Structure formats: C-alpha cells, structure tokens
Amino acid sequence: MFSKSDADLEQTGSVAAPGRQANAASVATPSEVDLAYARAVAADALARGSKDSSVPWENPNTGAGGNITPLAAVYNEGAATCRDFLASYVLGQAQAWLQGEACRTPHGKWEVRSLRPLKQG
C-alpha cells in the first residue's frame, strides 16, 4: 500500500540505503597536493622540536586537513638527524592515518623523506 521502489526513495541523514555502505568509515587516499601541505607543516612542526605536540594542517583548496604529531626525540640515521611522526588525514567523512620520517638537511631545514599509510598490526 505505501511501498515505493528503491528508485523513488530519497536518502537523507547518515543512514545508507539498503545494499549500500555508509561512507562514514571510509578510508581516504590523500592526493599529492594534500600531502604537500601535510609535509610542509610536518617540517615546520619538527623544526620546533616539541615531542607529542600535535600541529594542525589544512589544504584550503580541497578542505582536507588533519594533525601532525612528532613521535619521538631525534635519532641519527647515518650522518642525518631524523624524527618520526604521525599525520591524520580527514576529507569529509573519509579519514586515514599516515606515518612519516623527516631528516634535517645540512642547511638545518627539516625535509620529509617519507609519508605513507600507517601500517597497522
């Protein structure tokens, strides 16, 4: 009597239509442009030298953002002084965690060597 076909249903709120998954738990894949913003803030955060202090980052062009959190004190890798950090990435409802490593250049600036999805497990 009151039934409608799926084509006539209007999806509202955060409840997904039958047979579709809600995107609230989806994992984001950061674009290179977003990663460039995150790398720049990571280099600045590591230059400040604080440990376990998150610094927010945002790409105003895409709306992506997150936080950069240095994980440990500096360590030496060969002749380079390096630090590891975590970066969160949020774009709309999608999110991801990234792990990174940055090392100080001979000129004293921090350069991000790697920024990739966090390996869990």
pLDDT digits (tens, 9 = 90+) for 48-105: 776 668 899 999 999 999 999 988 778 898 888 999 999 999 999 999 999 999 999 8
Nearest Cα residue to 98 out of 25, 35, 24: 35
Q: Is the pLDDT of residue 17 over 50?
A: no
Q: Is residue 21 part of a domain?
A: no
Q: Is the pLDDT of residue 22 over 50?
A: no
Q: Is residue 18 part of a domain?
A: no
Q: Give residue 40's pLDDT band: very low, low, confident or very high (50, 70, 90).
A: very high
Q: Is the pLDDT of residue 11 over 70?
A: no
Q: Is residue 77 part of a domain?
A: yes
Q: Is residue 10 part of a domain?
A: no
Pairing relationship of beta strands 94-104 and 75-77 according to DSSP bridges: unpaired
Q: What pLDDT, on a 0 to 100 scale, did the predictor assign at position 50?
A: 66
Q: Is residue 19 part of a domain?
A: no
Residue carrying structure tokens 């995150």: 38
Average pLDDT of the residues in 9-38: 62
Q: Which domain holds residue 62?
A: 26-117
Number of domains in the chain: 1
Beta-carbon contacts of 118 under 8 Å, excluding residues fewer than 6 positions away, are 86, 96, 97, 98, 99
Q: Is residue 9 part of a domain?
A: no
Bigger pLDDT: 2 vs 36: 36
Q: Give residue 108's pLDDT band: very low, low, confident or very high (50, 70, 90).
A: confident
The per-residue pLDDT of the chain, averaged, comes to: 80
